[in-house]
């Protein structure tokens, strides 16, 4: 490949090709390939899914089926700050829905969405593992507990 051409190749695509080459002969390789591709890109863009489909010789409909079945896979980029709001039993009983409502009002997004500026992604989870602090949310893994709706604007302001 000429030097000028090499500069036009996306390094992520080269790395994806190495991932695919590593798994190409393995049965059941789709999920590990998708996990590594998502780790590389941060999500699974359409062109990546098509490339994986072609290289692993799996119909793209099947690849999309796996991607949409498992909650770990994302078809859209994540925000810089991922808000996980717990709506498990303890959080639900102690006002988790009001916390979620305040987050939705302040960010103008719903579950699974990302703000237009890429600042926040919102996801609802069943448990964060901090039931004694209910209701809770985490932002980028930082747990905020014993929440009420009035605290949400101040907490969100801490994350740029």
Q: Are residues 63 and 21 in the same domain?
A: yes
Q: Tell me whether residue 4 is in a domain.
A: no
pLDDT-derived band at 5 (thresholds 50, 70, 90) equals: low
Count of domains forming the chain? 2
User: What is the spatial distance between Cα 61 and Cα 68, in angstroms, rounded to a whole number?
Assistant: 10
Domain that holds residue 106: 81-158
Q: What percent of the chain has pLDDT over 90?
A: 89
Do 65 and 86 belong to one domain?
no
Q: CATH number, domain at 108?
A: 3.40.30.10
Residues 104 and 62 placed together within one structural domain of the fold: no
Average pLDDT, the chain: 94
**Tell me, what's the pLDDT at 1?**
55
Mean pLDDT computed over 114-138: 96
Give the rounded distance of the alpha carbon of 156 from its chain centre: 19
State whether 26 and 87 are in the same domain.
no
pLDDT in tens, 28-83: 999 999 999 999 999 999 999 999 999 999 999 999 999 999 988 999 999 999 99
Spatial distance between the Cα atoms of 124 and 127, rounded to a whole number of angstroms: 9
Determine the Cα–Cα distance for residues 1 and 49; give it in Å rounded to an integer.
Answer: 25
Query: Are 104 and 61 part of one and the same domain?
Result: no
Residue 114 has what pLDDT?
95
Q: Are residues 58 and 28 in the same domain?
A: yes
Do residue 153 and residue 87 come from a single domain? yes
Q: Flag whether 5 is marked binding.
A: no
> How many whole angstroms separate alpha carbon 97 and alpha carbon 103?
10
> Is 95 in the same domain as 133?
yes
Q: Is residue 51 part of a domain?
A: yes
Q: Is 91 marked as a binding-site residue? A: yes
* Residue 3, pLDDT above cutoff 70: no
């Amino acid at each position: 490949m000429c030097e000028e051409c090499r500069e036009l190749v996306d390094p992520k695509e080269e790395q994806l090709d190495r991932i695919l080459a590593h798994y190409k002969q393995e049965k059941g390789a789709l999920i590990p390939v998708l996990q590594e591709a998502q780790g590389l890109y941060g999500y699974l863009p359409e062109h990546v899914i098509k490339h994986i489909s072609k290289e692993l010789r799996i119909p793209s409909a099947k690849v999309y089926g796996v991607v949409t079945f498992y909650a770990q896979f994302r078809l859209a980029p994540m925000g810089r700050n991922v808000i996980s709001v717990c709506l498990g039993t303890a959080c639900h009983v102690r006002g988790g829905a009001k916390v979620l409502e305040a987050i939705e009002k302040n960010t103008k997004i719903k579950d699974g969405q990302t703000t237009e500026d890429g600042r926040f992604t919102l996801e609802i989870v069943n448990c964060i593992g901090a039931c004694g602090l209910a209701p809770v949310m985490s932002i980028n893994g930082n747990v905020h507990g014993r929440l009420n709706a009035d605290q949400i604007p101040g907490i969100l302001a801490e994350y740029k």
